[in-house]
Copies of this chain bind each other. A is one copy, B any other.
Amino acid sequence: MSILVVGSVAFDSVETPFGKVAEVLGGSGTYFSTAASFFTPVNLVAVVGADFPEEHLDFLRSRNVDLAGLQRAEGRTFRWQGRYGYDLNEAETLDTQLNVFSDFRPELPAAYREAEYVFLANIDPELQLEVLRQVQRPRLIACDTMNFWISGKRQALLKTLQHVDVLIINEAEARQLAEDPNLARAARRILAMGPRTLVVKRGEYGVIMFSEHSVFAAPAYPLEEVFDPTGAGDTFAGGFVGYLAANRTLDEDGIRRAIVFGSVMASFTVEDFSLNRLRTLEYRELEERFTRVKLLTEFSGLS
C-alpha cells in the first residue's frame, strides 16, 4: 500500500556541538519518504531546482520512492541553515532560502490520486488543501504544521484540519494551536478542530497521543549520543504512517505500535547528520529497538 507525501526536498546546512555539515540532503519530504520506505513504497510530491544532483534522486529511487511527482524547476533548490546548542531540543534557524519552493504548487500525477495514505508535511496549509482537493478517498490523512502557519495562516490551517485524521505536531505547536498552556486541555481543543487523533512529539521525552477515548504515552529510546536532531519529526511521521499503511491497520493497538515504530525510526535518524544513519539502517534493527522500547515501558498491573 503506497503512501503519498507532499513536502520539501532541500539542502540543509547544520551545526551542532558535535560537528557541522553543509548543503546535505534534507527536507521534510525526503526524511518522511526515506523513513516510510522501510515499510512500504512512497510517492513523493515536491520540487527541486536545477542544481539538484542525480545522486540524491538515485538514493530516493533505491529506497522505493516514486519520483513521478517530483517537479524540476528553474532555479535553486530550497535551502535551510540551522544550529543546535547542547540542548538539542530546538533548532535556531540561521537562514531559509525558499528558492524554487516559493512557487511550488503540488500537482498529483493521475496515479497518485487514489492514494489511501496521505501525509501532508509542514508546508503552507493552502497547499495542503490543494493536495486534499486532488485526492479521492484516502483511508488516512496525516498532517504536520508549524508555528509560522499557526500564527500566519490560522484560518487556512483550521480548514485543512477539518479533513485531517491524525495531526502530528510538537508540544509547543500544540499549545500554540489550542492557545492553552496545559497539554491535556490543548489536546481536547485540537481534537474538536477535526483530527480524530493528535500525536504530540516531545523530543527526548517521547510521544504522547490523544484521541477521543484514549491517551498513549511512548518514551523516546534513551540515546547516549545524539548528533543531529534534524529530520527527527519527519522520520517519526514516516515510520508512523509507513507502519500503518504496510499493516493496513488503524485500530488502537496498531496506532500505538506505529507510534513506537516512528519513535524508533527518529531515534536512529538523530544518530548521524542528514539521512546518513538511515542509509545503512536495516529493518531488523528497527524491530530490535522496538522490542527494547517495549521492555522499558513494562510493569505488571494490579492483580
Chain A residues in contact with chain B, CB under 8 A?
86-87, 181-185, 188, 202, 204-206, 208, 214-219, 222-226, 253, 256-257, 259-260, 287, 290-291, 294-302
- Are A184 and B224 neighbours in the complex by a CB distance under 8 Å? yes
Q: How far is the CA of A96 from the CA of B216 in the complex (A)?
A: 40
> Which of B219, B222, B224 is A219 in contact with, Cβ under 8 Å?
B219
Distance between A110 CB and nearest chain B CB, rounded to angstroms: 37
Residue of B whose beta carbon sits closest to that of A226: B182
Across-interface contacts of A183 in B (CB, < 8 A): 204, 222
Each complex incorporates copies of this chain amounting to 2
With a cutoff of 8 Å between Cβ atoms, the chain B residues found around residue A256 in the complex are 298-300
Residue from B222, B295, B300 in contact with A184 in the complex, judged by beta carbons closer than 8 Å: B222
Q: Are A299 and B257 in contact (CB under 8 A)?
A: yes
**Is the pair A287, B299 in contact by a Cβ cutoff of 8 Å?**
no
Are A182 and B224 in contact (CB-based, < 8 A)?
Answer: yes
Shortest CB distance A295–B (Å): 8
B253 with A299: CB separation less than 8 A? yes
Would A294 and B287 count as touching, CB distance under 8 A? no
If A217-B219, A297-B299 are given as contacts, then 17 extra A-B residue pairs at C-beta distance below 8 Å, sorted by A number, are A86-B181, A182-B226, A184-B222, A184-B223, A202-B205, A205-B205, A205-B206, A214-B295, A215-B296, A216-B296, A216-B299, A218-B299, A253-B300, A257-B300, A287-B302, A290-B302, A291-B302
Q: Which residue of B lies closest to A290 (CB)?
A: B302
Pairs A-B, 4 closest by C-beta atoms: A217-B219, A256-B299, A205-B205, A184-B222
- Chain B, residue nearest A85 (CB): B181
Q: Tell me which of B205, B224, B296 contacts A185 (CB under 8 A).
A: B224
The chain B residue with its CB closest to the CB of A202 is B205
A–B Cβ pairs within 8 angstroms, 13 of them: A182-B223, A183-B222, A184-B224, A185-B224, A205-B205, A208-B222, A214-B296, A253-B300, A257-B299, A287-B302, A291-B302, A294-B299, A297-B297
The listed residue (B86, B217, B219, B253) touching A208 by CB distance below 8 A is B219
